[in-house]
Copies of this chain bind each other. A is one copy, B any other.
Amino acid sequence: MKRSQSTPKSEAARKIDIRGVAAKARVSIATVSRTINHVPTVDPVLAARVWSAVAELNYFPNTQARALVSGKSKLLGLIVSEITNPFFPELIQEFEQVAVERGYEILIGSTNYEKKTIEQCARRMLERKVDGVAVMTFGIEEVLFERFAVDNIPVVFIDAAPSRPLSSVLAVDYRTGIYEGVQHLAVLGHRKIGFITGPLRLRSAEARKAAFLDCLRSTGLKADPAWIIEGDHTLDGGRDAMQKILALPQWPTAIMCSNDMTAIGVQHALFEAKLKVPDDFSLVGFDDIHLAEYTIPPLTTVRMSCKDLALRAVNDLLSHLQDSPAKPEAPSKIITRLIVRQTTGLPKDALADLPGKSTRKKSRE
């Protein structure tokens, strides 16, 4: 089995490492190291020999050894809520692209909202000595991230973060997009708008709900607490929440959702109940995942650019890493905006309401 070891053919079949390259190029390992790290002070002639040895041997450096000695793993952690929610793969893809461009690898952790898993993720990141972590799980117990501070590892959170050095926060401007959504609904004539939240212990689920309530108020509508249902940002959660609303004696005429998956779940609940979108209910999602364009009918939703999110996250992390001169504190928020598709329309009682201004009771069940 251990062929190369049991047959020490002197030079011939040695392992492909920096020494092998050095031997073949007839230089020292230091020169090899300098060459492959593009240190400018290497004699071009030697460099050429090194490069051709590298090519012939098909050599590449051992990341572990490199990391061990340099203290930098060139790994960025990315912690997301739930990899099966399509928003996150889209985020991951963008994040990875930016990271790889900048010479970093990413280590993904999916928490599934479970505290134990989150702990495990944090630990894995620490063990692998990531150079930075983006916690994109929209609200998390920060205690678990104290160790990162101890180890001087930058962390970027979303929406809110503990204030400490090397930690920054990506602020999302939920209000603009949600306001546009509420306005849109109001203009169509909706006065009774329900909201299905995400898991409320997630800070940004809370933020989205707060933004919704706020926008309702500034639009002059009032919120019926019965129509604010807690969901969990999953398809099942959306379906269940909508079923709860359908069990209510009074129905809203429009539903906003804390994310698109919830909205798709709602569409399904409505389909099962033989109710039509947007004829019986108007529906607005949040995130604008690619799928939103493909639901039937296509989902009106609030777009949050995950490309932006990813780019900003990586930049924030790296700016802490490369002892940046001035803090390029870019406090601008991540913007959101409404994308109108086909799940929003006039409220069912619009025609009836128009002539007489009477407040009709909704049909029940």
What residues of B have a CB within 8 angstroms of the CB of A84 in the complex? 86, 89-90, 93, 290
Q: Are A64 and B129 in contact (CB under 8 A)?
A: yes
Question: Whole-angstrom distance from the CB of A144 to the nearest CB of chain B?
Answer: 12
B62 and A68 contact, CB distance less than 8 A: yes
Contact B296 A271 (CB under 8 A): yes
The answer to whether residues A124 and B105 also contact, given A64-B64, A84-B86, A235-B291 and a CB cut-off of 8 A, is yes
A147: CB under 8 A from chain B?
A: yes
- The number of chain A residues with a CB under 8 A from chain B is 48
- Is the CB–CB distance between A83 and B89 below 8 Å? yes
* A37 to B: closest C-beta gap in Å: 14
CB distance from A214 to the nearest CB of B (A): 30
Task: Assess whether B265 is in contact with A129, with CB atoms less than 8 Å apart.
Answer: no
Provide the residues of chain B in CB contact with A108, threshold 8 Å. 106, 108
In contact, A123 and B83 (Cβ under 8 angstroms):
no
CB-contact partner of A63 in B120, B129, B297, under 8 A: B129
Q: Does A65 contact B (CB under 8 A)?
A: yes
Nearest CB in chain B: distance from A159 CB, A: 23
Q: Tell me the bound Cα distance from A251 to B84 in angstroms.
A: 35
Contact A128 B267 (CB under 8 A): no
A96 beta carbon closer than 8 Å to chain B: yes
B63, B264, B293: the one contacting A294 at CB < 8 Å is B264
Report the minimum CB–CB distance from A6 to chain B (whole Å).
15
Q: Are B64 and A73 in contact (CB under 8 A)?
A: yes
Residues on the B chain within 8 Å of A129, using CB: 62-64
Query: Does chain B have a CB within 8 A of A171?
Result: no
A58 in contact with B105 (CB, 8 Å) = no
A188 close to B (CB within 8 Å) = no
Quick check: A110 and B83 within 8 Å, CB to CB?
A: no
Cβ of A100 under 8 Å from chain B: yes
> Is A295 part of the contact surface with B, judged by Cβ < 8 Å?
yes
Q: A364 to chain B: closest CB distance in Å?
A: 24
CA distance A290 to B73 in the complex (A): 36
**Residue A107 at the B interface, CB < 8 A?**
yes
A302 within 8 A of B: no
Contact assessment for A110 and B96 in the assembled complex, using a CB-CB cutoff below 8 Å: yes
Taking the closest CB of chain B, its distance from the CB of A58, in whole angstroms, is: 7
Within residues 301 to 357 of chain A, which ones have a CB less than 8 A from any CB in chain B?
Answer: none
| Cβ-defined contact, B64 with A235, below 8 A | no
Cβ contacts A124-150/B at 8 Å (1 or 0 each)? 101111000000000000000001000
In whole angstroms, how far apart are the Cα atoms of A265 and B295 in the complex? 9
Contacts of A88 in B (CB 8 A): 89
Residues of B within 8 A of A63 (CB): 127-129
Nearest Cβ distance between residue A12 and chain B, in whole angstroms? 15
Q: Is A192 an interface residue (CB 8 A)?
A: no
A26 to B235 alpha-carbon distance, docked (Å): 55
4 nearest interchain CB pairs?
A83-B89, A64-B67, A296-B296, A64-B68
Q: A84-B90, A295-B295 are in contact. List 8 more A-B contacts (CB 8 A).
A: A62-B127, A64-B67, A84-B93, A89-B89, A105-B107, A239-B294, A264-B294, A291-B291
**A residues neighboring B (CB under 8 Å):** 58, 60-65, 67-68, 73, 83-84, 86, 88-90, 92-93, 96, 100, 105-108, 110, 120, 123-124, 126-129, 147, 235, 239, 264-265, 267-268, 271, 290-291, 293-298
